[in-house]
Copies of this chain bind each other. A is one copy, B any other.
Amino acid sequence: MVNTFIFGHKNPDTDTIASALVMQDFQTQLGNDVQAVRLGDVSDETQYALDYFKVDAPSLLDTPLAGKEVILVDHNEFQQSADDITDATITMVVDHHRISNFETGSPLYYRAEPVGCTTTILKKMYEEHNIEIKPEIAGLMLSAIISDTLLFKSPTCTEQDIKACEALADIAKVDLNEYGLEMLKAGASVKGKSPEFLLNMDAKSFNMNDKVVRIAQVNTVDVNEVLDIQEEVKNVINKIIAEEKYDLFVFVITDILNSDSTVIALGSEQQAVEKAFNTQLENDIAVLPGVVSRKKQVVPPIDELLGK
């Protein structure tokens, strides 16, 4: 059995799944015995990318991590990682998020850059090691960049992400706009999905000082598909808050065509959202114009209030 697992965060998104598969290819080409795994279900958007480039999804992690070495991609915060992550030896991290609730006992290889997508960093690593990027690996990389930057519209998107994505499109032989919009749409259909499903699709927890904040996000081309079932959604959020003892739950419904978000905020720290975004919640709901990035536009202002 392989001794080194590679995985991204819980509630895997396209960057997390793609980065694990890309890192697996990278390490394998370096002669290392590794296996990409995932910590949750593959989203419709990610499945679209995997099908398009004919790559199998990684299998679900089903082995205890005690005694194993692990490579983390696209995350570092332990509460977003495997439940028994502290039993493993983390030898490497490649990520593009803030660093928090992360520690190791020994030195490791850690590479984080403030770019829009993990695969933008991975592409550099291929180049630094003179390793060829195969078309299907390029396809996974560009899918991750399109997903994380909402086709370059997110403020997290950097010039490096755009340049990398364009170069990858040449290798994978796809039209970025056409393929990208189809992929995003494949993941943006919320119609017919249960509130429980929507609230867990892409949700992350954040420790901010002594508060625990849960921030879930969905992409859609029609916000009303969610707002039509807002009462059910709120009931489920309140149930989750009671069960998991969250101080704040923010559900970010992002309109990928208009590049703004509607949020539903509940919990004892609900007012932090009003202060953070200088807005008023009406029926626990507010529209945040221009906000599309959890990492860059939602977490920092809330952390500024609660995390100090």
Contacts and interface: CB of A to CB of B under 8 A. Distances in A.
A103 B98 contact: yes
Contacts of A296: 106-107
A112 B105 contact: no
A113 B109 contact: yes
A70 to B, nearest CB: 14
Contact of A110 (B99, B107, B299): B99
A111 interface: yes
Contacts of A66: none
Contact of A108 (B98, B107, B299, B307): B98
Residue of A100, A112, A299 with highest tally of chain B CB at under 10 A? A112
Contacts of A105: 98, 299-300, 303-304, 307
A114 B92 CA distance: 10
Contacts of A107: 96-98, 112-114, 295-296
A307 B106 CA distance: 12
A308 to B, nearest CB: 9
A197 interface: no
Number of copies: 2
A100 B296 CA distance: 24
Interface residues of A, number: 27
Contacts of A114: 106-109
Contacts of A100: 103-104
Contacts of A303: 105
A238 B128 CA distance: 51
A293 to B, nearest CB: 11
A104 B98 contact: yes
Nearest to A116: B107
Contacts of A113: 107, 109-110
A300 B99 contact: no
Interface in A81-138: 96-114, 128
Interface string A22-64: 0000000000000000000000000000000000000000000
A103 B109 contact: no
Contacts of A99: 99, 102-104, 108, 110
Contacts of A106: 98, 114, 296, 300
Nearest to A208: B105
Nearest to A304: B105
A100 B299 CA distance: 22
16 contacts: A96-B107, A98-B103, A98-B107, A98-B108, A99-B99, A99-B103, A99-B104, A100-B104, A101-B103, A102-B102, A105-B299, A105-B304, A106-B296, A107-B114, A107-B296, A109-B112
Interface of A: 96-114, 128, 295-296, 299-300, 303-304, 307
Give the 10 A-B residue pairs with the shortest CB-CB distance, closest first: A110-B112, A107-B114, A100-B103, A98-B104, A105-B303, A109-B113, A99-B104, A98-B106, A98-B107, A97-B107
